[in-house]
Structure 1
């Protein structure tokens, strides 16, 4: 089984200490592509939230959904601390999963 096909909860950011978005999916790579290309109209496309700053993999979708709900209830400071623990530079973790780096305009396909 490919790693990106595992259920996971993820946190996207608009930039270092920027606007955060928490989501859950069973196909992280496909979901990241959707977010990065603004294929899903809504909060992430309006606020240009494309950078993967944290993710947690699960064996089944139910625990991932529960974790997403838990993280969404957290105070912003707790979420920032969680990101800083594993990714203090707030780098785009999607690059490590094989996706291209975001451009200077934050979109992988240009401004």
Structure 2
């Protein structure tokens, strides 16, 4: 992957621990989870159109593979650092050959 193909900056956040040790607390912003990313907004197709009718925009967030990002699951969320937009992670797709990790996400799908 060449420089410039990931022009955005994002942060991956997860819920903090509550008093019982469960991940039900507030969202935690960890600077270690900030990285370069690229967005691919899904426009066509029945699924994308149906999602937009429900007020949700599907997007694929692409990042370079790293050991830290290998721990990211669907329990995390993605925050666009430039706009503050929040994306709920629906699934992750690993491409070892291209050394990238794609996260299928939705806008408007997470609570504040």
TM-score of the aligned structures, taking structure 1 as reference length = 0.31
Tell me which of the two structures has the higher relative contact order, counting C-alpha pairs closer than 8 angstroms and 6 or more residues apart: 1
TM-score of the aligned structures, taking structure 2 as reference length = 0.31
Structure with the larger strand share? 2
Please tell me whether Structure 1 or Structure 2 has the larger radius of gyration of its CA atoms: 2
Structure with the larger helix share? 1
